[in-house]
Structure 1
């Protein structure tokens, strides 16, 4: 029911009385309708962020496309404060509080990557690790060798190593920089290699989909170090998702008392993928995350890829949690769609 309020007064010119009619309840009803639509729009904008946060933190991978989308979590995290800010401005307290909670969930997941961690008490020798995906052997071999010299790499892992690329790297002088090797060159993207300044003892490669070679590195004055050239299958279509997952799960876990382990290469995964987080929880540290550089992207450096696709961090150096991380870096390599990654590691005493 609408209540009409009537006020009677004199006109400005002293003539006949003027009646002013107001309908406060009708006006309130119209304002309430407008408020309802504003709230509905805000909640609709909040819902995708909330679902994304729940899926990311829950570690559930319901479908192939989510396995790709979750890589873009840092961008979603950057956009998540928009909803609570709008809700505060529009005085929608419930949506604002819910939006803040979701934004905080994203912040807890992403912000630590930009904050350096502490290091364990590692006082052994320093080992410099470099990892490069050479895109079916198309990367500039001279640039790879020059990068190994510039970073003073002690160990280089190479992904997508073909027989032709291996020969080109030798012609560019890699054998003079890193004379020891364990390699499995294969056509296409399945091959990999491990080059070292120090003597190597080869171990059976991890042959789940792609060939991930590994070896024990005999570092002078340090404990034995097992290094793996990491390259699981790329989950580029639904049929490869299982191969990608199995390739990550086949990687060795740190034992705490056995050899120090270092995994370096193209993981085809970011720190938002549950499989990589599970691997880290087994006793590894991401070198870039440890130095506060975990948001520096590595892929794609060149096409063909969808125009305007935001870059993500697929390449990593993971070190046993007993290892200190002094520095990390990302480096452009002409001819490949991945940027190389490097880390300066401090081993525990023997």
Structure 2
């Protein structure tokens, strides 16, 4: 029996085809990496950029294929892509050496998105009680949610508040164990309320706290509003007072718009303690979406972070975030 090899002239064609296919796998990762590094999110890439941790894992596939088929130039590019994305994402799993103040007043903060006000009020109150939460920020805070939370006993735990309840997704609430100095609320350009106030626990310096909820980049006509809302969030550098922003930021640490805000005097609490890849939004109400991290606690760089935990909330598409912080002592 005679075995006939493929014609010699077919081998270069097959080799070129494999090379082209591998480059078609590598180039999208290269473009993604470049956009991630410069923080440019045009159009629908705002939404897609939230899934960068999954792209980082996926970048290993073209890397392995280029090595298997010995396409060294493409392999070098694939190594750069995988290494760069890993450098962007993996540090969120490692505690920072600098976690802010190590001495001061320990206070626990919690944020939760109520999904049009429909989240289980009793569960929210139970999380506050079980985690000894002293300050609670709520988004998508409706009049019905306000009533149910009061009936569940939230006011007994956190008697001070600044509330801007509204039907739909635009309401905001801020509850506190400590008196709120100059409490208030303002509607951002995207149409969502953000409630705020200053707390001063015994022995601590005053700290401004705001329940944050920029417009969600859900469609092309919301993209500009999303960028504007993030750009307009209060900063904590320069002569500004110490601040804590917590809530549904509708953005991840892979969005340049959020990183630019953090660069103005903040640190991300979950990232600081190595808990920065725990999902807070996505499949929790049944949607077939991989988990992403869009709920954050941003703290002034002078404030310490000791621990962060994430908790499910019944009847919400978000999970709550609890952060134990160390507020600097009063001078």
TM-score range, shorter chain: over 0.9
2:26 counterpart of 1:73: no
Matched position secondary structure for 2:170: coil
Q: For 1:225 and 1:59, how far apart are their aligned partners in 2?
A: 30
1:90 corresponds in structure 2 to 69
SS in 1 for 2:197: strand
Offset of residue 274 of structure 1: 1.1
Q: Please tell me whether Structure 1 or Structure 2 has the larger radius of gyration of its CA atoms.
A: 1
Q: Quick one: distance in 1 between partners of 2:311 and 2:198? A: 26
Q: CA deviation at 1:203?
A: 4.1
2:30 aligned with 1:54, yes or no?
A: no
In the alignment, which residue of structure 1 is the partner of 2:208?
Answer: 226
What is the correspondence of 1:17-56 to structure 2 with a 5 Å cutoff? 27=8, 29-56=9-36
Retained in 2: the 8 A contact 1:137–1:164? yes
Q: Indicate the residue corresponding to 1:11 in structure 2.
A: none
SS at match of 1:122: coil
> Match of 1:238?
220
How far off its partner does 1:258 sit?
4.3
Structure 2 counterpart of 1:9: none
The C-alpha deviation readout for 1:99-149, integer Å capped at 9, x for no partner, is 001111111111111111122343110110000111111011110000000
Cα distance change of structure 1 residues 85 and 304 upon mapping to structure 2, 3 Å threshold: closer
Deviation at 1:293, TM superposition (A): 0.8
TM-score (ref. length: structure 1): 0.89
**Cα offset for 1:178?**
0.6
> What is residue 96 of structure 2 aligned with on the other side?
117
Distance 1:334 1:121 in 2: 34
Greater RCO (Cα-Cα under 8 Å, separation 6 or more): 2
Is 1:345–2:325 an aligned residue pair? yes
Unaligned runs of 5+ in 1: 1-22
| 1:147 and 2:127 correspond | yes
Instruction: State yes or no: 1:159 paired with 2:144.
Output: no
SS of equivalent residue, structure 2 residue 218: coil
**Is 199-208 or 285-294 further displaced after alignment?**
199-208
Question: Is 2:285–2:316's contact at 8 Å kept on the other side of the alignment?
Answer: no
Which of residues 64, 68, 80 in structure 2 aligns to 1:101?
Answer: 80
The answer on whether the counterparts of 1:233 and 1:243 sit within 8 Å (CA) in structure 2 is yes
Counterpart check, 1:251 vs 2:213: no
Choose which of 173, 178, 183 in structure 2 pairs with 1:198. 178
Residue 330 of structure 1 aligns to a residue whose secondary structure is strand
Q: Which runs of 4+ in 1 moved over 4 A?
A: none
> How many residue pairs align between the two structures?
323
Q: So what's the TM-score if we normalise by structure 2?
A: 0.94
C-alpha distance in 1, partners of 2:283/2:133? 22
Residue pair 2:104, 2:204 contacting (<8 A) in 1 also? yes
Contact 2:162 2:185 in 1 (8 A): no
Of residues 217-226 and 198-207 in structure 1, the stretch that sits farther from structure 2 once superposed is 198-207
Matched, 1:278 2:260: yes
Deviation at 1:284, TM superposition (A): 0.8
What residue ranges of structure 2 are gaps of 5+ in the alignment? none
The two structures, once aligned, show a CA RMSD in angstroms of 1.7
